[in-house]
A and B are shown apart, each in its own frame.
Chain A
Amino acid sequence: MWNELLFAFQSVATLPNFLAMFAGIWGGVIIGAIPGMTGTMAVTLALPFTFYLPPVTSILLLVALYKGSTYGGSISAILIKTPGTASAACTVLDGYPLARAGKGGKALNMALVSSCIGDFISNISLFFLAMPLAMFALRVGPPEFFMLMAFSLTIVASISGRSLVLGIISACLGLLLATVGEDIYGSYRFALSEDMKSGLGMVPVLIGLFALPELIKMIVFRSEENTEAMKLGDNRLTLSEFRGSLKSICRGSLIGVVLGAIPGIGPSTAAFFSYSEARRTSKNGDKFGEGELEGVAASESANNGACGATMIPLLALGVPGDVITGVMLGAFMIHGLTPGPLLFQNNLGEVYALFVGILFSSVFLFIAGKATAGAFTKISRIPQTLLLPCILILCVYGIYSIGASPFDVTVLLVMGVVGFAMMLLNIPAAPFLIAFILGPMFEDNMRRSLAISRGDLGVFFQSWISWGFFALTVLFVILTIRREWKKWREKRDATPTSAS
């Protein structure tokens, strides 16, 4: 094994491979930072270039683009409240308040460090645990998926802020909008126009809900605080801040690895799951959503942790977990490599070379991220009256480019108005976001499970994985009810005292 590893190291440590990885990471970071341009787009655009490159260099370029774009999404999420990718949506919750408080650079540094650690742990697990994780992933069917989604949705309770009732209303709105379009059996729901038959795009909805309300608020209220540029403050990440978030980073990375290995889950679910866990266990849990570095660390470590792990089912079983790994499967096939168990027998040299190369990519991610973070932080210096209208135009172009559909632009603008109305009514946007992303997976897997079992609810309790998630869900619901009850009693006891 060690001889093969040494040989793999020698074959990877070449200038073309390093250049490909560096270009991929750099390009990915920039593309991920542009709202509307996604990692999928970057990987797809780069695919034709790989025809002329050796197999390992090609795959390393694509993997680097994927990782770079996943981190890049956090840059726009933190600085301009615009999640460049769905997986960065969770980073907005704490990243943007930090940027508003003049700690944008600190948040970017935390995002970078936690992304790199998540990425590194993910790469190590790809190296050592590819087979066992792939076998575990195979045991996760629709019922287990459903239970996992149910548990993930309980995060709504912890990010509802002041009022749990308003948080649930927001989540219901997200769940409802996620049902628009064609369902898994081909029935159309809420298709008020021809365009709505294909549903509402995730990126226009997310960007509309988060980025636009700030612009509308600035135009309507014209308050002084919005016309000034954001303060930069001290951008260095201190050791104590890093140490305070280390637990969440490690946990987030592991969550990313386990969930990323399951086909179909992807980095965004991992980010929400990790954020939820960090909020539950952190001593600063109450500050999450108001600008807590640990929140950024939790979501970023998980979404980058899931990146490398999505390669596990692809390499070990030949099963692409998402669209990006689907494109990568194509790249493997073009170069005559067939992912799956046979790959480890017939092309072990290439597999080890890939593993070593992917490990290098974490280092490149840190270098590229560090270099670009400084430049991107300067965005904060632009006055909001110039910045926010330009962000809208950038979003309009980016979103139109996804599907060349004016309908997506309409969705963006309408969601901006909806987001502003929610802001006025004090309805939190975060539960909407989670429900909109997880809702379709929750419903599809529930319907699939019931279809498989011919309506028998027992299907949800047939494996220990389902039981585990069910127990966690019940436990969390009980804890939430207890917390709300205590809050209500404290309020009730405080009222007569304050009145007297």
Chain B
Amino acid sequence: MNQNRDFYAGLVATAFFALVLFVLIPIYVKVPSFIPGFAPPPDMWPRVVAIIGFVMGVLALVLAFPKMRETSKHQVTGLGGNIHRHKVLIARFVGVLVLFAAFVYGLPVIGFVPATVLLLGVLFIMTGNFERKFWMFGLTIIFPVLLYLLFTEVTHTPFPEGMLFSNSLSNLITLI
């Protein structure tokens, strides 16, 4: 398993640093037409780092490959087989990604407090442990509200009210 992981780590690193080197740096690192005095251009350092990362990725692949071949003589499990075997775990991970994305996009719409209440509630459900339902329910409501009060009172942070609720929700919480 470790050899497989090293191989995938090398593969991901090689692909990522290649993307940075050949796509992201040429597009997203602009070199100004005039640099005062002798100053290395802004793309020099990211390019050096990406090259080192790319070389290390290839090295990880090369080092993992023979050992992986040795392991595969004893046990052959393809990538498809692995995905099928771990489909529940993958579904849970996708669930986490969807939840985080929904939180980020939902935050400006429903406001900070309701979004964090929902996020906490769903996270409790996703842990799959329902032995302490009372605590889960209580914390889901009380904890974000307490934090909201703490941060608005102490640091005067302006949390987004949300397009749906406007000022009414924060007024209600402050009243409580």
Contact = CB atoms under 8 A, between A and B. Distances in A.
Contact of B9 (A192, A390, A426, A455): A426
Contacts of B127: 218-219, 222, 227, 385, 388-389
A178 to B, nearest CB: 9
A314 B150 CA distance: 33
Nearest to A435: B49
B92 A220 contact: yes
Interface in B32-84: 32, 35-40, 42-43, 45-46, 49-50, 52-53, 56-57, 59-60, 63
Interface residues of A, number: 64
A417 B93 CA distance: 9
A219 B57 CA distance: 29
A396 interface: yes
B24 A447 contact: no
Interface string A404-421: 101001100100110011
A185 B29 contact: no
B136 A386 contact: yes
A139 interface: no
Given A172-B50, A385-B127, A447-B40, A401 B60 contact: no
Interface in A374-430: 383, 385-386, 388-390, 392-394, 396-398, 400-401, 404, 406, 409-410, 413, 416-417, 420-421, 424-427
B163 interface: no
A76 to B, nearest CB: 15
Given A45-B154, A386-B132, A187 B147 contact: no
Interface stretch (A99-107, A163-171, A351-359): A163-171
B31 A187 contact: yes
A225 to B, nearest CB: 13
B141 to A, nearest CB: 12
Contacts of A424: 5
- Contact residues of A: prevailing secondary structure: helix
A219 B126 contact: yes
Contacts of A175: 45, 49
B143 interface: yes
Interface in A166-198: 166, 168-169, 172-173, 175-176, 179, 183, 185, 187-192
Given A41-B155, A189-B29, 11 more contacts: A163-B6, A168-B53, A185-B36, A218-B127, A393-B143, A397-B148, A397-B150, A410-B104, A416-B100, A425-B5, A451-B36
24 contacts: A37-B155, A45-B155, A165-B10, A166-B9, A169-B56, A169-B57, A172-B49, A172-B56, A176-B20, A179-B46, A185-B42, A187-B32, A187-B42, A189-B46, A216-B96, A218-B127, A219-B123, A386-B124, A397-B147, A404-B157, A406-B104, A413-B104, A447-B39, A454-B37
Interface of B: 2, 5-6, 8-10, 12-13, 16-17, 20, 24, 28-32, 35-40, 42-43, 45-46, 49-50, 52-53, 56-57, 59-60, 63, 89, 92-93, 95-97, 100, 103-104, 107-108, 112, 116, 119-120, 123-124, 126-129, 132, 135-136, 139, 143-144, 147-148, 150-151, 154-155, 157-160
